[in-house]
Structure 1
Amino acid sequence: MHAILYYPLAALLLLTACTSGKMNHEPVAATNPPLPAFDLEGHRGARGLLPENTVPAMLKALELGVTTLEMDAHISQDGQVFLSHDPYMNREHELLPSGEEIPEADAKKYVHYQMPYSRIRTFDVGSKYFSKFPEQQLMKASKPLLSEVIDSAQAYIKAHGLPQVFYNIETKSKPSGDSKYHPAPEEFVDRLMTVVDEKNIRPYVIIQSFDPRTLQVLRRKHPDVKTSLLVENLKGLDHNLTQLGFTPNIYSPNYKLVTPALVEATHKLGIKLVPWTVNDLQAMQRLKQMGVDGIISDYPNLFQEL
């Protein structure tokens, strides 16, 4: 595959959103909108098609008609909120600023929380072939600021007359990573919500996490913000909700954990059930027939067939 420079498109979209030299931060909604009736979420944008958690991946997901952009948030050494799944540069699909491979001995050397964002941005996260996603289009790309992603997405929505989408933002944290890979939950939430409110997208934001602590901080400080509990354990709905301590808007398990009984139980509690990460059309159809409330997929192009 040939590398394609995607920056001109992103720059054009950012320019479209500018007014008198400033980004257009007008609120996208005056009320608290309901979640989509059936939520089509592009996982890390459109990871199966373009480099994950990048502006091009998010714009591709919008082009394909998603109702929610799903993404992962990390915090840099200088407190910037940016998109990344891993807490360090992943040598599987990311390159050094020089364009060279990250040596295996340095696989976990480049920790984001120990680098300023200005340095993080110099790594190339889109030009290396990723065998797990052979259809992924190669292009030079960087890990973007959350603010940049929002500006680009809102500009694209406006330019193409699309319905407003939701932003499902995962806080990538766990107790063992505090002060090593990320700040403590309180600071993580504060920095994330500062960006959300600067961009006036609070009504359309969902904060998700495997870490109940960040959701608990969010519930205490921002009870109006929608929450989603991510689950990959076998402990069951009752246990996981007890650990969380409140009823989230969304329960989001690994799709293999979904059963008709789980669908019924979540719906009885008024919770939407949105499983991850479903990359097979037949599995999507089966889950939809079972009654789930949405699908998170690396391949949002499959939603057109669903």
Structure 2
Amino acid sequence: MVPGVHVEIHGHRGARGLRPENTLPGLLHALQVGVDALEFDLAVTADRRLVLTHDLTVSPITSADRRPAYPGDPAYPYVGKPINGLTLAQLRTLDCGVRRPRRPDDRFAPTQVPVPDTRMPTFGAVLGLVSVYGADHVRLHVELKTDPTRPTLSADPKEFTAMVVDELDRHGRLDGAAILSFDWRVLEAAMELAPQTPRFALIESDTMDPVWLNGRDLADFGGDIAAAAASAGATTVSPEHVLVDGTFMAEAARAGLPVVPWTVNDPARAAELIDLGVAGVVTDYPDRMRELWTARGMRVPEPIPSRYAHVPG
């Protein structure tokens, strides 16, 4: 670690370890803790609205049915149904503010403060929240959730990317955002549609396959993930943190790509990654990272002061 080099803190799904993920209260809490970038996930509804959700089907862990959108709705209950098969009105009936773990060892349940009666937000609502709180200096890291192995659940990647780019442009945020995806078709679409907006190539062991990498075989790159990412138009490579070691960092340097690993919740591992030279870490616990940064004499991002006592979901 070179003294004076800044390593960014990226709040994962807002601050998943502290508040409900991909919700307005969760994103606001991350801003109030203080992050350099606010990461969240998007999918497309049946009526072509952009909503925050990590899963392509309604998760029973993060969402609970409350009532049908209208009496006799044959799609009800909605939990377990595809996001792209439900309208915004149907999805907005869900309570997304209380984590309901399926296993007793769920790592987030003990630390995540519930916010009951919280709704699944739209992308536009998030952009409005950031504007209201004057957080224009915090970058929005928008992960587009598609799964090329499950095309019936996924939006067309180019159309999806165009929708996201249009919304960012409408709010004047193209220069204050980044587009992230495991599906590298999204990266290539983003490079064409918004070349000035950074693009993060997400990678994990399960997606090291041509179907995820838009036809690329890592063997053709000698197993060099960063070189493959650069060929897809990525401006940053963002791997699962267990993939990052000295060899990975050297390959990324040769490709000219900064490295931002996910999801880093252990301060000891974060310290190792800092020493390896990463540009940032994605974390469910930005509070823990801030403590580590402070202990090491590193700059921490400014928290956003609260203006209102309550942010509706």
What is the TM-score of this pair, normalised by structure 2? 0.77
> 1:305: how far off?
1.1
| 1:94 has 2:63 as partner | yes
Which residue, out of 133, 136, 153, partners 1:181? Answer: 153
Comparing 109-118 and 71-80, the one that deviates more: 109-118
What does residue 181 of structure 2 align with?
209
Which residue, out of 186, 194, 197, partners 2:166? Answer: 194
Judging changes above 3 Å, is the alpha-carbon distance between structure 1 residues 74 and 199 closer, same or farther for their aligned structure 2 residues? same
> Secondary structure, in 3 states, of the residue corresponding to 1:73?
strand
Query: Does the aligned pair in 2 maintain the 1:241–1:247 contact within 8 Å?
Result: no
User: CA deviation digits over 1:189-234, x for unaligned, max 9?
Assistant: 1111111111110001110111011111111222222100001026
Tell me how far apart the structure 1 counterparts of residues 226 and 136 of structure 2 sit (CA, whole Å): 34
| 1:116 has 2:102 as partner | no
> 1:62: how far off?
0.8
Judging changes above 3 Å, is the alpha-carbon distance between structure 1 residues 108 and 238 closer, same or farther for their aligned structure 2 residues? farther
> Secondary structure, in 3 states, of the residue corresponding to 1:273?
coil
> 1:243: how far off?
6.8
Which residue, out of 60, 68, 80, partners 2:37? Answer: 68
The alignment of Structure 1 onto Structure 2 pairs a total of residues equal to 260
Judging changes above 3 Å, is the alpha-carbon distance between structure 1 residues 78 and 241 closer, same or farther for their aligned structure 2 residues? farther
Tell me how far apart the structure 2 counterparts of residues 218 and 107 of structure 1 sit (CA, whole Å): 31
> Secondary structure, in 3 states, of the residue corresponding to 2:14?
coil
Query: Does the aligned pair in 2 maintain the 1:91–1:107 contact within 8 Å?
Result: no
Tell me how far apart the structure 2 counterparts of residues 294 and 84 of structure 1 sit (CA, whole Å): 23
Tell me how far apart the structure 2 counterparts of residues 154 and 237 of structure 1 sit (CA, whole Å): 42
Gaps of 5+ in 2: 69-76, 209-217, 293-313
Judging changes above 3 Å, is the alpha-carbon distance between structure 1 residues 244 and 177 closer, same or farther for their aligned structure 2 residues? farther
Judging changes above 3 Å, is the alpha-carbon distance between structure 1 residues 44 and 243 closer, same or farther for their aligned structure 2 residues? closer
Tell me how far apart the structure 1 counterparts of residues 254 and 155 of structure 2 sit (CA, whole Å): 36
Tell me how far apart the structure 2 counterparts of residues 298 and 243 of structure 1 sit (CA, whole Å): 25
Tell me how far apart the structure 2 counterparts of residues 176 and 59 of structure 1 sit (CA, whole Å): 33
> Secondary structure, in 3 states, of the residue corresponding to 2:113?
coil
> Secondary structure, in 3 states, of the residue corresponding to 1:49?
coil
Taking only aligned residues, the RMSD between alpha carbons, in angstroms, comes to 2.2
Tell me how far apart the structure 1 counterparts of residues 258 and 225 of structure 2 sit (CA, whole Å): 17
Query: Does the aligned pair in 2 maintain the 1:182–1:188 contact within 8 Å?
Result: no
Gaps of 5+ in 1: 1-35, 100-105
Which residue, out of 276, 284, 296, partners 2:262? Answer: 276
What does residue 194 of structure 2 align with?
222
Which residue, out of 90, 97, 111, partners 1:135? Answer: 111
Q: Percent identity?
A: 29
> 1:263: how far off?
1.3
> Secondary structure, in 3 states, of the residue corresponding to 2:149?
helix
> 1:41: how far off?
0.3
Q: Which runs of 4+ in 1 moved over 6 A?
A: none
Query: Does the aligned pair in 2 maintain the 1:129–1:138 contact within 8 Å?
Result: no
> 1:259: how far off?
0.5
Comparing 262-271 and 290-299, the one that deviates more: 262-271
Query: Does the aligned pair in 2 maintain the 1:41–1:70 contact within 8 Å?
Result: yes
> 1:285: how far off?
0.9
